Amino acid sequence: MSRSYLFIPGNTPSMIQNLDVFESDSVIIDFEDSVISYDKDAARILINNFLKKFSFKEFDIYIRINDSLNPNFLKDVQATIDLDITGYVLPKAGLEAIEELNKHIDNKLIIPIIESPLALLKAEDIAQSNNVSGLLLGAEDYTKELGINRTLNGTEILYARSYIAIICNAYGIESIDTPYTNKDDEIGLREDSINAKNLGFTAKALIHPNQVDIVNDVFSPSTEEIFQAKRIIKKSEESNKGAFSLDGKMIDLPIIEKAKKVLEKAKKYNL
């Protein structure tokens, strides 16, 4: 369970050596778009040496490898398979790509990036694939394939967002929203994060450390939510009934389960 997934370029020592100060719940070390072809080997060697020297328990580490049709795919996996990482973020994901990755990994999670109309159509099957722990919407490539422009209010990705959030919640996996690409627009980031949360997303991917605080804040339960959740659980334990009334509102199992999730999240993040 993470609220924030921060992308870090895989071949930039100044960023890599500060992984533990960004306070993101998860970091995604990137071997794909932020590393030029010539330096893919350098990134693999740098991360291999870095993660053999240091281990981190305070946050999860994922590696975004190159896609399964890229010649670097297998090299990326082989260079990192023995490292203490939580899993892989798989770009241009489809069922075959996930199957291919699963041939090479053991005890590692997979977060496929849904970044094409076809992947969106297959998202329900992708969500049920082995080792898949969440889906990440990659809106830049998704809209590029649709031949449409991104807008600030995100209307063009509303369907994709809604569909991914529903699927992830249906199958009990993480739903990770696409990054907000304007790293200097804090108001826009907060609004975009709230919109995603209101659609059912559990987390958001980030492209800059400056975005961590806002995203963690938005995807954390509020003080009011925690207070209400505690009251619901307390009343539930006292009443010993499947359904009961609180402040004139009917409380039943789904609301009790939701309250438990809120408290679970609050406990994890010391709220």
* Nearest approach, Cβ of residue 99 and other proteins (Å): 30
Which sign, positive or negative, has the C-alpha torsion 203, 226, 187, 148?
A: positive
Shortest distance in whole angstroms from residue 37 CB to other proteins? 13
Q: Cα–Cα distance between 238 and 257 in angstroms, integer?
A: 16
Our CB check for other proteins shows the closer of 144 and 208 to be 208
Q: Smaller CB distance to other proteins: residue 39 or 225? A: 39
CA distance 35 to 37: 7
Instruction: Return the number of the residue (8 or 157) whose C-beta is nearest other proteins.
Output: 8
Least gap, CB of 71 to other proteins (angstroms): 13
Q: How far is the CB of 185 from other proteins (least distance, A)?
A: 26
Q: Given the complex with other proteins, which of 9 and 134 has the nearer CB atom?
A: 9
Least distance (Å) between residue 40 CB and other proteins? 10
Q: What is the CA radius of gyration of the chain?
A: 19
Nearest to residue 179, comparing CAs of 197, 154, 204? 204
User: Can you point out the beta strands (E) in the chain?
Assistant: 4-9, 26-30, 60-64, 87-90, 109-114, 134-137, 174-177, 203-206, 244-246, 249-251
By the criterion CB under 8 A, which residues form the site for other proteins? 12-14, 17, 41-42, 45-46, 48-50, 52-53
Do residues 132 and 141 make contact, with C-beta atoms less than 8 angstroms apart? no
* Identity of the residue, 13 or 242, whose beta carbon is nearer to other proteins in the bound complex: 13
